Amino acid sequence: MMMMNNPTMLSYIRREQTVLGSLLSAYPDATAKALANVPKHTQHWLILTTASSLNAAKSAQPYMEKMANIQVDVRDAGAYLTYGHVNPAVDTIIGISLSGTDPIILAAVKRAETGTQATTIAMTAQMDSELVSGTATSFNLLTGKETIPYITLSYNAIVLSLMFLSLRSAADRDLLPVLAVNQELDDFGLIIEHINETIQRANDYYRKFTIDFGLATEFTSIGASSLAGTLAEMQTKFTEIVRVPTHGYPLTEFIHGAYLGAHETHRQFYLEMPTDPTVMATLQAVKTYESRLTPHIYTISFTGEQPTLNDEQTLMLYPIEDPLKVPLLAIIPFQVLAWFIAKAKGINLSHPIFDNFQASLKTNSES
């Protein structure tokens, strides 16, 4: 792994194309190794993780279920450990921890194994970790240790790696012919090749609206349900980094109540992509309605089509034909914008704003 002196969040964003390219090159051996113990007729996978890694797993989930024809449950490891039902039908458990040492994830994986015949897979950036030694097989995210607390590179590495595992599972079970698998890998390759371009376009987009983004009192992103993980991660990143109220809503959730929170200083991002025409028509109708309430309407488009409203507030990105692969690029503009907005606001991301928070939790739990 390339070492960086004093890396920043932006340093890691700029490594995404290289590392995801390495994951693509490693696909044949890495996926075969990770899936070595998975039963031939696998049907039910359980993913256990936390925080941004949980958002990443949710981003990959729709692709995984469609491609491998399996049920994929994505659970917060802490909630699962305390309240989760151990389902004997689960045949594959994936624990995701970048450090491989998170005690909650380690305990959740052990609990999930109880009473099942499931095989366990560790997904981590640290191959000498406790998570790897406690599972049957492992998958290396190839990111090394991301030394800043707000992960970006590792997020997309998790999304792609989970998609790869489902693709290989489908191939191993003869659900896809070799030609179709190669076509999927070619598609992934094209998307990866457009990561640096996506970063640059997002950079230019920020510079165009620097003042408006900097003055924002609230951000919201809205998109199709298949982007639920991306929308959740946008909410996570902006809350952590920009530090103003931020929300990410699947379209159906927004139109069933969240729209009531709109106001004139509200900044809204709409994600457009090739998907069910009814969904995109509804998204457009919501955007048109909301534009009466706030002028701060922004669109991030993967359709390849010029915007119906030429307001110059649309960020046109590489058109992705398969909507279930859109998450690989969709999070990048939000990562870039969060970084630049925080920098302009004078937020020092290398110094935690509440540096005694975790220590306080430990003290309270012991008292």
Structure tokens at 216: 């924002």
Same domain, yes or no: 184 and 302: no
Q: Which amino acid is at 177?
A: P
For residue 44, tell me if it sits in a domain.
Answer: yes
Taking residues 148-165, report their average pLDDT.
Answer: 95
Please name every residue paired with 250 in a beta bridge, in sequence order, or none if there are none: 223
Shared domain for 35 and 166, answered yes or no, is yes
Give percent above pLDDT 70 in the chain. 96
pLDDT single digits (tens) 10-27: 999 999 999 999 999 999
- Residues β-bridged to residue 300: 271, 315
Please name which of 116, 143, 114, 117 lies closest in space to residue 53, comparing C-alpha atoms.
Answer: 143
Yes or no: say if 191 and 329 are a contact pair by the CB < 8 Å rule.
yes
For residues 189 and 206, membership in a common domain is answered with no
Separation of alpha carbons 268 and 338, rounded Å: 14
pLDDT score of 309: 63
Say whether both 212 and 272 belong to one domain: yes
- Bridge partners (DSSP) listed for residue 93: 46, 120
Going by pLDDT thresholds of 50, 70 and 90, the confidence category of residue 362 is confident
CA angle 238-242-244, nearest 5°? Answer: 85
Query: Per the structure, how many domains does the chain have?
Result: 2
The answer to whether the beta carbons of residues 227 and 274 sit under 8 Å apart is no
- Within-domain flag for 134: yes
pLDDT at 356: 84
Q: What is the pLDDT of residue 366?
A: 52
Across 237-254, average pLDDT: 97
- 165 and 263 housed in the same domain: no
**Domain identity same for 144 and 267:** no
- Looking at the structure, do residues 241 and 326 belong to the same domain, yes or no? yes
> Percent of the chain scored above 90 by pLDDT?
88
The whole-angstrom separation of Cα 351 and Cα 348 is: 6
321 with 310, same domain?
A: yes
Together in a domain, 134 and 249: no
Q: What gap in Å lies between CA 68 and CA 167, rounded to an integer?
A: 6
- 189 or 360, greater pLDDT: 189
Residue 1 inside a domain? The answer is no
Report yes or no: 219 and 238 within 8 Å, Cβ to Cβ.
Answer: yes
**Mean pLDDT over residues 257-269, rounded?**
94
Amino acid at 213: F
Residue 217 belongs to some domain of the structure: yes
pLDDT for residue 364: 58
pLDDT the model gives residue 336:
98
The yes-or-no verdict on residue 367 having pLDDT over 50 is no
Residue 260 domain-assigned? yes
State how far the Cα of 218 lies from the Cα of 341, in Å rounded to an integer. Answer: 13
- Pick the last residue of a domain from 133, 160, 193: 193
Which residues does 20 contact at the CB level (< 8 Å), separation at least 6?
156, 157, 160, 192, 195, 328
pTM, full prediction? 0.95
What is residue 80's three-state secondary structure? helix
In a domain, 358, yes or no: no
Q: What is the pLDDT of residue 5?
A: 63
pLDDT digits (tens, 9 = 90+) for 75-133: 999 999 999 999 999 999 999 999 999 999 999 999 999 978 999 999 999 999 999 99
Range of the domain at 14: 9-193
Angle at 147 between CA 141 and CA 149, to 5 degrees: 95
C-alpha span between 77 and 84 (Å, rounded): 9
| Residue with more model confidence, 328 or 363 | 328
Pairwise pLDDT comparison (348 vs 60), residue with the higher score: 60
Same domain, 176 and 317: no
Q: Are strands 92-96 and 71-76 parallel, antiparallel or unpaired?
A: unpaired
CATH label of the domain that carries residue 143? 3.40.50.10490
For residue 138, give the H/E element and its range. Answer: strand 137-140
Mean pLDDT of the chain, nearest integer: 94
Domain boundary pick from 193, 222, 254: 193
Which of the four pLDDT bands, split at 50, 70 and 90, describes residue 1? very low
Domain-embedded: residue 103: yes
Q: What is the pLDDT of residue 361?
A: 84
CA distance 334 to 250: 16
Claim to verify: residue 98 and residue 226 sit in the same structural domain: no
Whether residue 175 is found in the same domain as residue 30: yes
**Residue after which a domain boundary falls, among 173, 193, 213:** 193
Give domain status of residue 352, yes or no: no
